[in-house]
Amino acid sequence: MTQTVPVRSLTAKGERTRAKIVDAAADLMFRDGVAGTTVEDLCAAAGVGRSQVYHYFDDKTELVRAVIERQAELVFGGQEPHLAHVEGWESWEAWRDFVVGTQRRAGCVGGCPLGSLASELADEDELTRGILVLSFGRWEGAFRDGVRRMQDLGLVRADADPAGLATTLLATLQGGLLLCQVAKDVAPLEAALNGAIGYLRSFA
């Protein structure tokens, strides 16, 4: 993904330290929320000093933006292999099983790393929101391409709207992940994804 947050020229060692800080911040913010994560927590978790954090990031807002990009990369990186190589209905079922399996392994804790950040930050400053828009847009684009591929394969009717279907798929996924987090059970997520795929199937 094109980095929206400017990254200063760093040495290899500097890049590693910066990545260590972002990874630790991502873990903490996933667990405790952005508001619940302090620089002290971050320094302890990353094993760095306060001055190092401020060497790489002007302020918390800049760090948060890097965390959004990192989480978007991880979430998308996991699902992309399924969505980028759609070969038929079994690809959508494999995608569903991947998403459900990820939540099952996580004990249904935390919900979607990107969705949780979005819920907390979507009303903050416009640059932060812009990064969320780009991240979700990239994800939605992958769904749209997957639907188009189904059309090319002759498995989904040509009059189906890939954009509307992509929005519905992404929305159902996000809501399903939230219901899974609340229920501490993958059943609602699985039901919601079956519904989303069922909707796509209604255009078969």
Contacts with a second copy, residue ranges (CB under 8 A): 31-33, 35-36, 109-111, 115-116, 118-120, 122-123, 129, 132-133, 136, 163-165, 167-168, 170-176, 178-179, 181-184, 188-189, 191-192, 194-196, 198-199, 202
Of 167, 172, 159, 161, the closest CA to residue 198 belongs to 172
Q: How far apart are the C-alpha atoms of 85 and 87, rounded to whole Å? A: 6
State the Cα torsion 191-193-195-201 to the nearest 10°.
Answer: -140
Q: In angstroms, what is the minimal distance from the CB of 109 to a second copy?
A: 5
Nearer to a second copy, 83 or 189 (CB): 189
Nearer to a second copy, 48 or 180 (CB): 180
Residues in CB range of 93: below 8 A, 6 or more apart: 197
Nearer to a second copy, 109 or 127 (CB): 109
Q: In angstroms, what is the minimal distance from the CB of 12 to a second copy?
A: 35
CB 165 within 8 A of CB 199: yes
The length of the chain in residues reads: 204
* Cα 187 from chain centre: 20
Q: In angstroms, what is the minimal distance from the CB of 120 to a second copy?
A: 6
Largest CA distance in the chain: 58
Residues in CB range of 25: below 8 A, 6 or more apart: 37, 42, 46, 63, 64, 66, 67
Nearer to a second copy, 14 or 110 (CB): 110
CB 99 within 8 A of CB 79: yes
Q: In angstroms, what is the minimal distance from the CB of 33 to a second copy?
A: 5
Amino acid at 129: R
Nearer to a second copy, 76 or 199 (CB): 199
Residues in CB range of 118: below 8 A, 6 or more apart: 132, 136
Nearer to a second copy, 55 or 148 (CB): 148
Q: In angstroms, what is the minimal distance from the CB of 111 to a second copy?
A: 6
Q: In angstroms, what is the minimal distance from the CB of 90 to a second copy?
A: 21
